[in-house]
C-alpha cells in the first residue's frame, strides 16, 4: 500500500477488500486477483514515454535551450522525472478524510450499502457504499476525543468508542445518539487506579456477541487485563457493564460457534509478554502465561473460563520454549527475569509500538494536531 494500513473490511460478498490508511484514504482492491483484469489495469495506467513538449525550433533563449538539452538527454536515456512509486496491483481510491483514519465498517441496509469510518478528529462518518463511496450521507457527532473503534450490533445499531469516558450507541441512519455506555466507570471499578481523576481509557477493540439473543458487545481497553461486557439498547443513560477478568491485557477477540443453540466460544488473544495491566513492564521468564484464553458464553452477558476447543488450541496458546527462535533473542539474564539486553529492548519496543498504539491518538495539550 502507498501508506501504512490501519484498518480493513470486506464487502459482504467477500470479493473486495476495503483498506483504510493512516493518511485518511480508503482504497478498494480485489481479494483474489484476476490476471486479465490486472493486465488491463497495468496497460491503462502504464507510464508514458517522456518527450519534451518543446523542440529546437520553438526555444530561443540560451537558458531555455540548456533546459531543453537536458530534457532531450533524459528522453534519449528513456528516463522520466522522478515520481512516487505507484501501487503495483489493481486498486481504486474510494474516499478520504482530512484526519488519520482509525477504523472502517462496511454494511448493507436493504439494497443500499454504506461505508462507516472513524478518525482521530472525533468524526464518525457515514458514506455511501461502492461505487459512490465519495458521497457523504452524514456524520454522528458527540465524541470529544479520538474515535478508535466502530462496531455494529446484531440489530444494526452502531457503537463507537475511543478516548472518551463513554461508548456512544447510534441510530446511525438518522445520525442520532440513543445511548451512552460508561466504559471508563467500568474500567475504574476493575482497575482501581490510585489517581482516579486523571485515569483515562483508550478503547482498543469492540466485538458484537453473535450468539446472544440481545445486542451484546465485548470491549477491550488498552493496557487493561479484562474484557467489559455491555448490553446495548437497554435504554439507560449510562449502562454499567460486566467484567470478564483475563490473565493478561486483551489484544483481540474472535468467536467460534458451537453445536448448542445460543452458545459460542470467545477466543481471546492476551499479551503474554507484558505484565497484566501494564504496557511497559515485562513479565519474568517464569511467569509467562498462555497466549489465548477461551471463554464460554453463559447468557445475559456472563462468561465462564474454559471451552471444549481449549485442547485443540493448546499448541498455539502455550508459550514456546525459550531456546526456540519464536522466543526471540532474550539473553540468559532475561530468562531469569533480571536484565534485558539492547537487542531485547529494541525488539520489545517494536512489539509495544504495534500492540499499544491507541493511546498515542490522544491529542496532548499545546501540541500541534
In sequence order, what are the beta bridge partners of 244? 227
* Domain count across the chain: 1
Residue 228 has pLDDT above 60, yes or no: yes
* Distances in whole angstroms, Cα of residue 27 to Cα of each of 18, 31, 61, 85: 6, 12, 46, 16
pLDDT surpasses 90 at 224 = yes
Cα gap 340→237, rounded to integer Å: 47
Residue corresponding to grid cell 493518511? 23
Domain presence at residue 13: no
| Grid cell locating 351 | 512489539
Q: What is the DSSP string of 248-309?
A: S-EEEEEEEE-SSTT-EEEEEEE-SSBPTT-SSPBPPGGG---SEEEEEEEETTEEEE--GG
Relative to beta strand 124-128, strand 112-119 is antiparallel
Residue 90 inside a domain? The answer is no
Residue 234 within any structural domain of the chain: yes
Q: Could you report how far apart the first and last alpha carbons of the chain are, in Å?
A: 24
Q: What are phi and psi of 252, to 5 degrees?
A: -165, 160
Distance of CA 324 to the CA centre of its chain: 30
* Assessment of whether the complete model's pTM goes beyond 0.85: no
- Residue 317 in contact with residue 292, Cβ under 8 Å? yes
282 domain-assigned: yes
> What pLDDT is recorded for position 86?
60
Phi, psi of 2 (to 5 degrees): -70, -35
Whether residue 131 is contained in a domain is answered as no
pLDDT band at 154 (very low <50, low <70, confident <90, very high): very high
**Which cell numbers in the block locate residue 132?**
459512490
Cα–Cα distance, 282 to 288 (Å, whole number):
10
In a domain, 117, yes or no: no
Q: Tell me how many degrees the CA angle 355-363-253 measures, rounded to the nearest 5.
A: 30
pLDDT in tens, 42-81: 666 555 555 655 566 565 566 777 777 777 776 665 555 5
Q: Look at residue 364 in the predicted model and tell me its pLDDT.
A: 83
Return the top range by mean pLDDT from 62-76, 90-104, 277-291: 90-104
Q: Please check whether residue 102 lies inside any domain of the structure.
A: no
Closest CA relative to residue 238, chosen from 151, 160, 167, 161? 167
Is pLDDT of 335 > 50?
no
What is the span of the domain harbouring residue 167? 140-361
DSSP letter assigned to residue 61: S
Instruction: Give a yes or no: residue 325 inside a domain.
Output: yes
Predicted local confidence at residue 73, as pLDDT:
73
Percent above pLDDT 70 for the chain = 77
Confidence grade of residue 22 (pLDDT, cut at 50, 70, 90): confident
Amino acid at each position: 500500500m502507498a501508506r501504512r494500513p490501519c484498518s480493513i473490511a470486506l464487502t459482504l460478498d467477500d470479493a473486495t477488500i476495503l483498506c483504510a490508511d493512516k493518511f485518511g484514504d480508503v482504497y478498494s482492491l480485489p481479494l483474489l486477483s484476476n490476471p486479465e483484469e490486472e493486465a488491463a489495469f497495468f496497460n491503462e495506467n502504464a507510464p508514458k514515454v517522456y518527450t519534451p513538449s518543446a523542440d529546437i525550433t520553438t526555444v530561443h533563449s540560451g537558458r531555455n535551450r540548456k533546459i531543453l538539452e537536458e530534457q532531450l538527454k533524459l528522453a534519449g536515456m528513456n528516463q522520466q522525472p522522478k515520481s512516487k512509486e505507484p501501487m503495483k496491483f489493481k486498486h481504486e481510491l474510494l474516499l478520504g478524510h482530512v484526519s488519520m483514519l482509525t477504523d472502517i465498517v462496511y454494511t448493507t441496509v436493504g439494497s443500499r450499502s454504506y461505508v462507516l469510518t472513524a478518525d482521530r478528529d472525533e468524526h464518525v462518518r457515514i458514506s455511501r457504499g461502492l461505487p459512490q463511496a465519495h458521497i457523504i450521507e452524514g456524520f454522528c457527532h458527540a465524541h470529544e476525543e479520538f474515535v478508535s473503534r466502530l462496531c455494529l450490533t446484531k440489530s444494526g445499531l452502531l457503537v463507537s468508542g475511543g478516548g472518551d469516558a463513554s461508548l456512544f450507541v447510534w441510530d446511525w441512519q438518522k445520525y442520532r445518539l440513543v445511548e451512552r455506555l460508561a466504559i471508563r466507570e467500568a474500567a475504574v471499578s476493575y482497575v482501581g487506579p490510585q489517581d482516579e481523576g486523571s485515569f483515562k481509557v483508550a478503547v482498543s477493540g469492540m466485538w458484537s456477541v453473535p450468539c446472544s439473543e440481545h445486542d451484546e458487545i465485548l470491549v477491550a481497553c488498552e493496557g487493561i487485563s479484562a474484557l467489559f461486557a455491555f448490553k446495548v439498547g437497554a435504554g439507560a443513560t449510562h449502562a454499567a457493564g460486566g467484567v470478564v477478568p483475563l490473565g493478561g491485557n486483551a489484544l483481540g477477540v474472535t468467536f467460534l460457534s458451537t453445536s448448542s443453540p445460543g452458545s459460542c466460544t470467545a477466543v481471546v488473544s492476551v499479551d503474554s509478554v507484558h505484565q497484566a495491566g501494564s504496557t511497559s513492564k515485562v513479565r519474568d521468564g517464569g511467569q509467562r502465561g498462555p497466549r489465548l484464553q477461551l471463554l464460554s458464553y453463559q447468557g445475559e452477558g456472563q462468561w465462564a473460563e474454559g471451552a471444549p476447543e481449549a485442547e485443540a488450541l493448546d499448541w498455539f496458546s502455550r508459550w514456546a520454549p525459550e531456546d526456540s527462535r519464536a522466543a526471540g533473542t532474550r539473553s540468559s539474564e532475561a530468562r531469569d527475569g533480571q536484565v534485558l539486553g539492547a537487542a531485547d529492548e529494541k525488539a520489545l519496543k517494536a512489539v509495544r509500538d504495534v500492540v499499544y498504539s491507541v493511546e498515542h491518538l490522544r491529542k496532548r495539550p499545546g501540541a500541534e494536531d
